[in-house]
Structure 1
Amino acid sequence: MTTTHVKPTASKQAGESLLQVTDLTKHFPIRRGLLQRQVGAVQAVDGLTFNVARGETLSLVGESGCGKTTTGRMLTRLLEPTAGTILLEGHDITHWSTGKLRPLRRDVQMIFQDPYGSLNPRHTVGTIVGAPYHLQGIKTERGVKREVQDLLQLVGLNPEHYNRYPHEFSGGQRQRIGIARSLALKPKLIIADEPVSALDVSIQAQVINLLEDLQDELGLTYVVIAHDLSVVRHMSDRVAVMYLGNLVELADRDDLYTRPMHPYTTALMSAVPIPDTERRSKRERIRLQGDVPSPVNPPPACRFHTRCWKAQEICRTEKPPLAELAPRHLVACHFPENADMPGSSDPAALQSSTAAGSAAGSAAGSVAGSTDHDAQEPRG
């Protein structure tokens, strides 16, 4: 079986930002009655702020329904944001019209999750991969057919597949066709929505390695949407953790995996399979109690407090800001985990900064000084 090569740690965030997202929000209205009056809204994404450096891979992770795919579709402007701003190379593209967005499609492309549903079964591979050239009116010196055949070869397919139809290919080959289509216009940013989740495990590693090789060769920037934390660890430079439409933690890959600070991230990491039985037996498995709340009526303040073993009164009344609790490590939590590990700031200072001088600040200080046993007892 093909194995993936672990991506080396990079410090690309310090470079030039290609994408900047500020307070990005998407609410889907709920309408009822004969007049279709709005009676509520599904708060799919609520106030995301992050940036992506040129040549970087940022991964969005979280449970199903946390807003990852909605975020990706807003970044490609397949969905209109409710609020916030999206800056691409300094240009505000948040509310551009359809006509103005047409040139943008050359710079931003998307790889879809389903390699079966994203390809038109009535069209040949040559028509599918060559469609971007025709839609954008791009003329090539060697002709569209030659360009498409070169792209097929670039993604590991035979140029002779030009006249074949999607049903003649396996799932991994279909995903390679989708990747070739996204590369046709030489984009600067690619949004990859669960690019390997629909593929066999034996094929996933091949596609992951292909995406990394293409990034090195073409200088691509990725925003990867995924829930498989093992895949994310191989591909990412930085990882952003989402919960119920909010960003709860953002950090460099290695820092996040070795020292998760938000309780939700800690619970996610405890669920990652470990092949070594000895290490697996020593690891504490955190099982969250209760179900994910409805995005129609999310909990006030910290949205994770209904399932968090460290939640206290301040978590129910005051929303924690996304603050830098360690170098390049942003966390939105009043009582972060692993705050006393090497490389972190002073735990008492962290608690006092997140409490923002409120009356509950003294409670935050007492929790920071509690033992690990006391903090983890309600986990179940």
Structure 2
Amino acid sequence: MSERGTLAGAGAARDPLLSVQDLQKHFPVTKGLLKRQVGAVKAVDGISFDVFKGETFGLVGESGCGKTTTGRLITRLVEPTGGKIVFEGHDITHMPQGRMRPLRRDVQMIFQDPYSSLNPRHTVGAIVGAPFRIQGIKTEQGTKKAVQEILEMVGLNPEHYNRYPHEFSGGQRQRIGIARTLALKPKLIIADEPVSALDVSIQAQVVNLLEDLQNELDLTYVVIAHDLSVVRHISDRVAVMYLGKIVELADRKSLYEAPMHPYTNALLSAVPIPDVKRRKERDRIRLLGDAPSPLNPPPACRFHTRCWKAQEVCSKVEPPLLALASGHQVACHFPENAPAGGAATGAEPADGNGTQGEAAPGEGATTSS
């Protein structure tokens, strides 16, 4: 894996492997026998980001913020409501399924649950070999030999070829899922919570495996997770989502050492710290109340109902995602850790215009040690 943070600056000089532009997914809510639409769940509501070849792009946020839906949109497992998805310069937003089949060799997905993502009636050989059959790909030494080589690559015994998923542990099942993903040598892998269902000790093994595979096969990852410790270890750049919007995007070092959006600060304050002394000295930010429903999100800044820095402007004007001179992007009227002279210094709208400044803390959250 490349050195963390170096790809963020280098990306400006080259074309992205994946470009997501104002992507939207609204799930209709219907009522009555006639299925009349009475609303929409705005799972993803206008997000934009680029992913460059060879990097790991992290996507984090609370449950229900739209992370998984974003991953399924990128892989076209879900049809977008609006926006654009560009892969290797080709617009695949509404590409017909027939034309998508060859593309699926290059874009694969690791699913969150290693138990439900594997067919219990199929052997490991049939599961990992399925991509070869579906794509009609013949290998020189035969499919069985190719599958066994992939199994060995992910740390499994080639003799497991004829076993069934129920004969394996959770970590081994996730390795089987990874092996299936690698079968066609993809260029981009969407990893949806790849270690959340595993024990802590097994998580480290799977994360290290993903890093080793990236170095060996020149892979590009989009890692979707709610565990910020895992994301910090594996990612080059990180985007933070809240209620279908990206509120902050930066390289790993900048985001973890100097987070600017209050929501990002709240998430990072909840990350466990092994050092007892440091843990006691740290201020824990406790957000009041549950996250609002994406069926009826708050107006303007969607975080203002839980933000301790919110003022009147936050409920009336939506803050755009502004790009600072450093490349750090934040969507907040009153960001923290702002550059000297205010956050607007050296800032340009990433997707619109807006103003930023400093404010005294208000209501919406509490801090405790």
**Structures share fold, TM-score greater than 0.5:** yes
* Residue 62 (str. 1) matches residue 61 (str. 2): yes
Task: Provide the residue aligned with 2:361 in structure 1.
Answer: 375
Matched, 1:346 2:346: no
The answer as to 2:299 corresponding to 1:300 is yes
2:148 is paired with a residue whose SS is helix
Q: What code does the residue aligned with 2:288 have?
A: Q
- Per-residue CA deviations over 1:321-362 (Å, capped at 9, x if unaligned) read 1011351210000100111xxxx35316459978x998xx7x
Structure 2: runs of 5 or more not aligned:
none
Asked if 1:33 is matched to 2:28, the reply is no
* CA distance, structure 2, for counterparts of residue 29 and residue 378 of structure 1: 30
Distance in 1, matches of 2:92 and 2:353, equals 38
Partners of 2:27 and 2:125 lie apart in 1 by: 37
Counting helix residues as a fraction of each chain, which structure ranks higher? Answer: 1
Letter paired with 1:303: R
Q: Is the aligned partner of 1:222 residue 2:208? A: no
Give the aligned residue type for 2:127.
I
Find the residue that maps to 1:102 and give its secondary structure.
Answer: helix
Question: SS where residue 251 of structure 1 aligns?
Answer: strand
Question: C-alpha offsets along residues 100-136 of structure 1, whole Å, 9 cap, x if unaligned?
Answer: 1100110000000000101111110000000000000
Provide closer, same or farther for how the CA distance between residues 164 and 297 of structure 1 changes in structure 2, counting only shifts above 3 A: same
Q: In structure 2, what is the Cα distance between the partners aligned to 1:111 and 1:123?
A: 18
Query: 3-state SS of the aligned residue for 2:58?
Result: strand
Q: Secondary structure at the match of 1:162?
A: helix
Deviation at 1:154, TM superposition (A): 0.2
Q: Deviations over 1:251-291 (max 9, x none)?
A: 00011000000000000010001011111111110111122
1:304 maps to amino acid = F
Runs of 4+ in 1 over 6 A off after TM superposition: 351-354
Question: 1:208-357 alignment to 2 at 5 Å?
Answer: 208-339=207-338, 344=339, 346-347=341-342, 349-350=344-345
**Residue matched to 2:6:** 11
CA-to-aligned-CA distance 1:197-221 (integer Å, 9 cap, x gap): 0011110000000000000100000
User: Cα 1:357–1:67, aligned 2, differ >3 Å: closer, same or farther?
Assistant: closer
What residue number does 2:146 align with? 147
Give the TM-score normalised by the residue count of structure 1: 0.91
Counterparts of 2:151 and 2:346, CA distance in 1:
53
Equivalent residue letter for 1:60 = L
- Where in structure 2 are the equivalents of 1:138-217 lying within 5 Å? 138-217=137-216
Code of the aligned partner of 1:96: M
Aligned partners of 1:7 and 1:236 also within 8 Å = no
Q: Does the 8 A contact of 1:115 with 1:171 survive in 2?
A: yes
Q: Aligned in 2, Cα 1:353/1:116: closer, same or farther, shift over 3 Å?
A: closer
Percent identity among equivalent residues?
71
Aligned partners of 2:4 and 2:32: how far apart in 1? 54
Between the aligned partners of 2:347 and 2:330, the Cα distance in structure 1 is 14
For 2:200, the aligned partner's letter is V
Cα distance in 2 for residues equivalent to 1:203 and 1:242: 27
Question: What TM-score results when the alignment is normalised by the length of structure 2?
Answer: 0.94
How many residues get paired? Answer: 360
Matched letter for residue 266 of structure 1: N
What is the distance in 2 between the residues matched to 1:129 and 1:345? 54
Aligned to 2:77: 78
The equivalent residue for 2:90 is: 91
**Paired AA for residue 86 in structure 2:** L
SS in 2 for 1:347: coil
What is the alpha-carbon distance in structure 2 between the residues aligned to residue 19 and residue 8 of structure 1?
Answer: 20
Contact 1:192–1:224, Cα closer than 8 Å, also in 2: yes
CA distance in 2, matches of 1:246, 1:30: 20
- Structure 1 residues 72 and 237, CA, compared in 2 at 3 Å: closer, same or farther? same
Change (3 A) 1:349 1:133: closer
Q: Distance in 1 between matches of 2:353 and 2:63?
A: 35
